[in-house]
Amino acid sequence: MKKFLGSVLMAATVFISQSAMAVPYVTGDVFASIGDGKVDVYSSSGVFKQTLNTGLGGFTTGSAFDTAGNFYVTAISASRISKFDNNGVLITSNFTTGQTFSFPESIVFDGTGNFYVGNAGAARIDKFSSAGAFIQSFATLQNTDWIDLAADQKTLIYSNEGSVIRKLDTATLVDTVLVANTGAATYAKRIRSNGDILMALGNGNVQRYNGAGALQQTYTSGLGSVFALNLDPDGTSFWTGATGGQALRKIDIASGNTLTSFNATSGQLFGLAVFGEITVGNPPPTGVPEPGSLALVAAALVLLGFSVRSRRA
């Protein structure tokens, strides 16, 4: 019994120590995917908080959160998906099973916890369960570097970093053109709750289209080629950054004014996420610890109390 208690207490102590070293995510935190298999985390005002390390090296790119606040990031160089808990502790650097990626670049969750992954090196979009098990692939008419999921939970928009934006109905498998020509290479994109679509472009602009593919507004970032893009939790602004650069900008959607600007510590930016980000396919993360983590902490506290009482007796 003493050995068992000792083992549990040791495991709990390690967990608590790791959690104490990590920094809990806060709504508005900005996650910047950079080189060497890492993601730098900043506060909404640009204060550096921590570095998440996949251990895979190479570039990290698109990323997303589940409803528990766990963080997932694509490692395009290593063709893997890494998962971190909501304190920044690495759970696994190889989360998915049953499918081999072809340079995964973007990831998006649906409302049931399943997620889709875009492949920069293949004309397909892969779907996985919340546990990371492969479900199926959807064939597309071009490679699928950057994707997002519409509110209907079945329409995926995608591009191959060209000027054509397509949409795929995963129920009927009908694949059609949404925007015939954006005027530049198109990278990260996000669908707003009203159906509008924001797209980062290689000419330094971000464009906003309505759900029918009609251009509504153009934002000049002043950053050169912008690659990364994500919506802020306030619902009225977005974040963007330059291809392989350092500068990050938060821009007001209505006016186009820059609200916040700071430089990341690395000049290898290739993806952005914001904790609490608004996605139409999946509710914003709550940041609640996973049940297993809560159970372990509770067990540790109970056993610690038991140990103290035993020594006093």
pLDDT(12) > 70: no
Q: Please tell me the predicted confidence (pLDDT) of residue 286.
A: 55
Provide mean pLDDT across the span 156-176: 97
Report the DSSP beta bridge partners of residue 149: 156
3-class DSSP string for 68-79: CCCEEEEECCCC
Provide mean pLDDT across the span 173-178: 98
- Per-residue burial over 160-185, b if 16 or more Cβ lie within 10 Å, else e, is bebbbbbbbebeeeebeebbeebebb
Q: Answer whether CATH 2.70.150.10 is correct for domain 26-286.
A: no
Provide mean pLDDT across the span 195-211: 96
Provide mean pLDDT across the span 15-40: 79
Q: Please tell me the predicted confidence (pLDDT) of residue 21.
A: 52
Q: Please tell me the predicted confidence (pLDDT) of residue 11.
A: 43
Contact 82, 56 (CB under 8 A): yes
Q: How far apart are CA 65 and CA 303, in angstroms?
A: 33
Residue pLDDT, tens place only, 259-313? 999 998 777 889 999 999 988 777 667 544 444 444 444 444 444 444 444 444 4
> Could you write out the DSSP letters of every residue in 9-55?
HHHHHHHHHHHHHS----TT-EEEE-STTEEEEE-TTS-EEEEEE-S
Indicate the domain borders of the chain.
Answer: 1-25+296-313, 26-286
Record the pTM.
0.84
pLDDT(173) > 70: yes
Greater confidence (69 vs 245) lies with: 69
Q: What are phi and psi of 298, to 5 degrees?
A: -60, -45
Q: How far apart are CA 174 and CA 87, in angstroms?
A: 40
Provide mean pLDDT across the span 44-68: 95
Provide mean pLDDT across the span 251-260: 96
Q: Which helix (H) or strand (E) holds 172?
A: none
Question: Which residues make Cβ contacts (< 8 Å) with residue 220, sequence separation at least 6?
Answer: 204, 205, 256
Token pair in block for residue 130: 């919340």
Q: How far apart are CA 112 and CA 67, in angstroms?
A: 10
Q: What are phi and psi of 197, to 5 degrees?
A: -125, 125
Give the CA radius of gyration of the chain.
21
Provide mean pLDDT across the span 177-187: 96
Mean pLDDT rounded to a whole number for the chain: 86
Amino acid at 1: M
Residue pLDDT, tens place only, 221-249? 888 889 999 999 999 999 999 887 889 99
Residue pLDDT, tens place only, 32-54? 998 899 999 999 999 999 999 99
Strand pairing report for 271-274 and 197-201: unpaired
Percent residues over pLDDT 90 in the chain: 75
Contact 104, 147 (CB under 8 A): no
pLDDT(114) > 80: yes
